[in-house]
């Protein structure tokens, strides 16, 4: 079942910067897809276009049969609660408790009054506790968020996203600022919970080896264009070179120029 359908999506910023060029792909329910590419390739813009933190310039993004580029107000709020977001910088409320940060994942289901005064239901509180135990932070739930390490804070971010009970999670470089041990812990928790709960995940990463370990599918982006979409075992060294340096494409262009020169010399 197709959960998300991204059709020829482009994004051009006001200064003329082209972040995305006709990007097209689909996500099926329960897939774990990793997007790889160099800094500035458009990975973050792609994720932020899906939950409308950034508005695309053209194309279609259809989530659960709804064109999200056309939704407004209450429908947009509903969309955002069904699409969880995990940020590179954690985006926690540092001065409040760990469990309250997880409970913030339920705000999209509450009216303004209850949300403002943090009037969470007993059921929400129990589920938040269970989520913290699932990510190995059961003993830390009443600490302030800023007392935790970076890796622990990102686990809180995962629990908060799962608390939304989303159909899709967007993870934007969730391990970029973490050491290798913490990075592996984060990816294990994210992958395992998504698989257990049947949640699709679209995750941006720099690390090709990590992408190959966890992804069902890998999408490669270079200069805003999708240049690869396939299984981890199909990602060759040549394709990695193309994704990160564009070398394969540049070499192809050079060969074409050489052929043209040869034709001119012959004629």
Q: Where are the domains of the chain?
A: 2-235
Instruction: Say what the pLDDT of residue 260 is.
Output: 46
Instruction: Say what the pLDDT of residue 187 is.
Output: 98
> What strand order describes the sheet that includes 200-205?
83-86, 168-172, 200-205, 32-36, 217-222, 225-230
Instruction: Say what the pLDDT of residue 61 is.
Output: 96
From the list 242, 256, 199, 215, the residue with the least C-alpha distance to 83 is: 199
Mean pLDDT of the chain: 90
CATH number of 2-235: 3.40.50.300
Please say whether the beta carbons of 27 and 200 come within 8 A: yes
> What strand order describes the sheet that includes 2-12?
18-28, 2-12, 58-63, 66-67
CB atoms under 10 Å from CB of 255, counted, come to 10
Q: Write phi, then psi, for 11 (nearest 5 degrees).
A: -140, 120
> What band does 263 get if pLDDT is binned at 50, 70 and 90?
very low
Chain CA centroid to CA 119, Å: 29
Q: What is the pTM of this model?
A: 0.89
């Amino acid at each position: 079942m197709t959960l998300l359908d991204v059709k020829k999506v482009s994004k051009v910023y006001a200064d003329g910067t082209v972040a995305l060029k006709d990007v097209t792909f689909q996500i099926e329910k329960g897939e774990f897809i990793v997007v790889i590419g160099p800094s500035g390739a458009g990975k973050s813009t792609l994720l932020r276009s899906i939950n409308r933190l950034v508005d695309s310039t053209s194309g279609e993004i259809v989530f659960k049969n709804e064109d999200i580029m056309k939704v407004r107000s209450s429908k947009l709020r509903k969309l955002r609660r069904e699409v969880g977001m995990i940020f590179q910088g954690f985006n926690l409320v540092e001065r409040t408790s760990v469990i309250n940060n997880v409970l913030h994942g339920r705000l999209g289901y509450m009216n303004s009054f209850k949300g403002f005064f943090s009037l969470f239901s007993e059921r929400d509180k129990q589920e938040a506790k269970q989520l913290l135990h699932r990510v190995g932070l059961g003993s830390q739930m009443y600490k302030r968020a800023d007392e935790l390490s970076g890796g622990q804070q990102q686990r809180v971010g995962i629990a908060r996203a799962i608390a939304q009970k989303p159909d899709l999670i967007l993870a934007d470089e969730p391990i970029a600022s973490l050491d290798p041990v913490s990075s592996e812990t984060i990816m294990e928790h994210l992958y395992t919970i998504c698989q257990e709960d049947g949640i699709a995940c679209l995750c941006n990463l720099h690390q090709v080896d990590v992408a190959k370990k966890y992804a069902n599918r890998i999408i490669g982006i270079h200069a805003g264009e999708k240049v690869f979409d396939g299984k981890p075992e199909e990602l060759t060294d040549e394709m990695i070179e193309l994704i990160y340096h564009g070398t394969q494409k540049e070499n192809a262009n050079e060969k074409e120029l050489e052929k043209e020169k040869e034709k001119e010399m012959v004629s």
